[in-house]
Chains A and B, each alone.
Chain A
Amino acid sequence: MESSFEFGPKIIWNWPVLGPITETIIMSWLVTAIIIVIIFILTRKFEQVPGKLQCFAEFLYESVNNYVTSTLGKGSLVYTAYIGTLMTYILLGSLLGIVGLRPVTADINATLALAVISFVVIHGSAIRKKGFVGFVKHLGSPVPALFPINVISEVAIPVSLAFRLFGNLVGGVIVMTLVHSALVGLGASFSESIPIFTFLIPIPANLFFDVFEPLLQTFIFTAITLTFISISVDTSEANH
């Protein structure tokens, strides 16, 4: 199929040992480096009377902590750390589309990896809270015959988490590519090239797909993870 549009991540280099290095991997290294630099600058020196940078760092921590506390019902350092990490990575990885790079989360491998980590956290906290026997008993409730169906519904959680993030972001990438190529073609159909087509008209679409969608999807991914965590650590019998 000779399509002029290629939406998958490009393979930069075929590493013979560990397999292909794709655009996604390079971008995720970039995101990791950005996060490390930002966190290093923010947390370089802490003082009793906070300066501007420390105030900003404290504001970030406070907002994530409030969000986790209001969803889980009680504060927890572990979940705050996990949700904060997830938020930073997904947000920065998705916002790469603004500067014309390929978003990290527009790759099923990246989103599935994030979703599998969430899956492990959800069920790990359930096992830690209820013990292994309680966890298995919970899977076999209300009647033991429903065990396979419960297992399938648990396994569906990471799949739907991954596909939701991936589908939204890759849809944005495809629409933006189509809009850009359509506008470039439209500009080329006039005799002179008109810059307004390539930089002013796509801005509303850019705002929606590259700014609004990443913010919303970050919120949704973390909110659903937190909701499942709060369901899984809930030991009261009423919600089973």
Chain B
Amino acid sequence: MTFDITTAKTIILAASAIGAGIVMIGICGIGLGQGIATGKAVEGVSRQPEAQPAILKTLIVGIAITETTGIFAFIIALTLVFANPLINLI
């Protein structure tokens, strides 16, 4: 089965859009992780209110590192939607 070039491009664009959507599922893990980290931090602060600045700093750095996975997923989705490398292959 052979396609003309417009059909092939359409298929690639549709598949890239679906792929970008699937990639962003990775975000839900980060939501869970950041929620758990923040919950533990709140527990720590309520147990030891005087340690609040140190806990806040550690929490922000930890959340930033957790977020990296989501940023990678976001960049892959961005590449698929706005700078599609696959469209030049045909």
A-side interface residues toward B, CB under 8 Å?
1, 3, 5, 7-8, 160, 163-164, 166-168, 170-171, 174, 216, 219-220, 223-224, 227
Contact = CB atoms under 8 A, between A and B. Distances in A.
Given A1-B13, A8-B83, A170-B78, A163 B71 contact: yes
Nearest to B57: A223
Contacts of A174: 78
Contacts of B84: 1
B75 A166 contact: yes
A171 B74 contact: yes
Given A3-B82, A8-B83, A170-B78, A164 B71 contact: yes
B8 interface: no
Given A1-B13, A167-B75, A171-B74, 15 more contacts: A3-B82, A7-B82, A8-B83, A160-B65, A160-B68, A163-B72, A164-B71, A166-B75, A167-B72, A168-B71, A174-B78, A220-B61, A223-B57, A224-B64, A224-B65
A46 to B, nearest CB: 32
Given A170-B78, A171-B74, A164 B83 contact: no
In this complex, the member of B60, B71, B84, B87 whose beta carbon has the largest number of chain A beta carbons within 10 angstroms is B71
Contacts of A167: 71-72, 74-75
Contacts, number: 42
Interface of B: 13, 57, 60-61, 64-65, 67-68, 71-72, 74-75, 78, 82-84, 87
B10 to A, nearest CB: 11
B13 A164 contact: no
A-B pairs with the 3 shortest C-beta distances? A167-B71, A220-B64, A160-B68
A133 B87 CA distance: 48
Contacts of B75: 163, 166-167
A59 B46 CA distance: 32
Contact of B68 (A164, A216, A223): A164
B47 to A, nearest CB: 22
Contacts of B64: 164, 220, 223-224
A234 B37 CA distance: 26
Contacts of B87: 1
A163 B68 contact: yes
A1 B6 CA distance: 11
Nearest to B9: A1
A219 B60 contact: yes
20 contacts: A1-B13, A1-B87, A3-B82, A7-B82, A8-B82, A160-B65, A160-B68, A163-B68, A163-B71, A166-B71, A166-B75, A167-B71, A167-B74, A167-B75, A219-B60, A220-B61, A220-B64, A223-B57, A223-B60, A227-B61
